[in-house]
């Protein structure tokens, strides 16, 4: 397979989210890759890749991220907006320490009409998703997140690898988007997209 249509067709058959034409061949991947991902090293000049995950109206990747303390230096809040997620959790997910109501906050570069927030939870074989009883809020208050408007609440524990989507009808305007667990425990998010009109 050497053309993008045939390679894309194979990708659909194998439920991949990324395919690349490289050195005359077709390579299929299950990684989540957004358009703003800058890569982790040299990419062969012969590579052309296509992704079904990215969105050009995602405000999260340019936001300033603050969080409850991360479980390690590799699990900081920015890893959830770098545009890449695969199975390797130590480098590709934000993971909080165990604490009361852990949180992750994105302060956007400008006020946006937020239509949805899309979250990739961590996948197996690592264990649970560590995404439990999470509320998402949008507004302008960075000091007291509960003053911001509730976009949605995820009740219970997400399945490993679940993509959780919170939708506004039609939108909520704000510069602050927060995810916060309402229980004692961990918060883990592997990719966060803040989509706007």
Domain boundaries, the chain: 4-51, 60-196
Cβ(121)–Cβ(131) below 8 Å: yes
Share the mean pLDDT of the chain. 86
Q: What are the contacts of 146-154 at 24+ separation with CB within 8 A?
A: 148/174, 148/176, 148/178, 149/174, 151/114, 151/117, 152/117
Residue 21 confidence (pLDDT): 85
- Phi and psi dihedrals of 102, rounded to 5? -60, 150
Stretch 58-81: mean pLDDT: 91
Residue 42 confidence (pLDDT): 47
**pLDDT confidence tier of residue 17, bands split at 50, 70 and 90:** confident
Whether the per-residue pLDDT at 88 is higher than 50: the answer is yes
**pLDDT confidence tier of residue 188, bands split at 50, 70 and 90:** very high
Domain spanning 60-196: CATH superfamily: Galactose-binding domain-like (2.60.120.260)
pLDDT per position as a tens digit, 154-174 = 999 999 889 999 999 999 999
**pLDDT confidence tier of residue 83, bands split at 50, 70 and 90:** confident
Pairwise CA distance, residues 75 & 58, whole Å = 21
Residue 91 confidence (pLDDT): 61
């Amino acid at each position: 397979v050497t053309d993008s249509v045939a390679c894309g067709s194979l990708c659909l058959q194998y439920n991949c989210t990324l395919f690349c034409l490289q050195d005359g061949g077709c390579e299929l991947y299950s990684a989540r890759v957004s358009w703003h991902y800058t890569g982790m090293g040299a990419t062969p000049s012969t590579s052309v890749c296509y992704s079904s995950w990215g969105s050009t109206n995602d405000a999260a990747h340019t936001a300033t991220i603050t969080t409850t303390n991360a479980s390690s230096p590799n699990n900081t809040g920015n890893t959830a907006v770098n545009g890449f997620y695969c199975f390797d959790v130590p480098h590709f997910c934000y993971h909080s320490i165990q604490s009361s109501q852990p949180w992750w906050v994105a302060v956007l570069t400008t006020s946006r009409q937020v239509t949805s927030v899309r979250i990739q939870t961590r996948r197996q074989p690592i264990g649970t998703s560590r995404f439990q009883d999470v509320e998402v809020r949008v507004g302008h208050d960075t000091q007291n997140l509960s003053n911001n408007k509730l976009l949605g609440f995820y009740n219970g524990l997400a399945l490993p690898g679940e993509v959780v989507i919170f939708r506004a009808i039609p939108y909520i305007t704000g510069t602050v988007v927060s995810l916060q667990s309402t229980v004692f425990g961990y918060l883990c998010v592997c990719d966060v997209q803040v989509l706007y009109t």
